Amino acid sequence: MSAPRSLAEVRTRIDVLDGDLIRLLAERQELVRAAATFKADEQAVRAPDRVERVVSLARERAAAAGLEPAVAEAVWRAMIGTFIAFELDEHSARR
């Protein structure tokens, strides 16, 4: 990727990436919704061991990709927390 030549170009590229991220998050949400159907209770939804594995993997992948692992961890923890709340709502709606 070539270096951006202006702030406007930086912003345009960020907007494109944000669109890609939204599409990927929508796909993740559908998978979270599906996961709710397989889980027996709230503890299974919260799955703290799974959360820690996912965060650890995000940190590893971030380091390999040149992203600061602390940034990846903060983003993943926020995302996971929000999706857990979503999944809890989905799970309780199915009961």
**pLDDT higher than 70, residue 89:** yes
95 band by pLDDT with thresholds 50, 70 and 90:
low
- pTM of the shown model: 0.90
- Determine the pLDDT at residue 82: 98
66 has pLDDT over 80: yes
Do residues 80 and 53 touch, judged by C-beta distance below 8 A?
A: no
Average pLDDT, the chain: 95
pLDDT at 36 over 70: yes
CA-based nearest residue to 55, from 95, 84, 18:
84
Integer angstrom CA distances of residue 48 from 4, 27, 60, 73, 84: 40, 22, 19, 15, 10
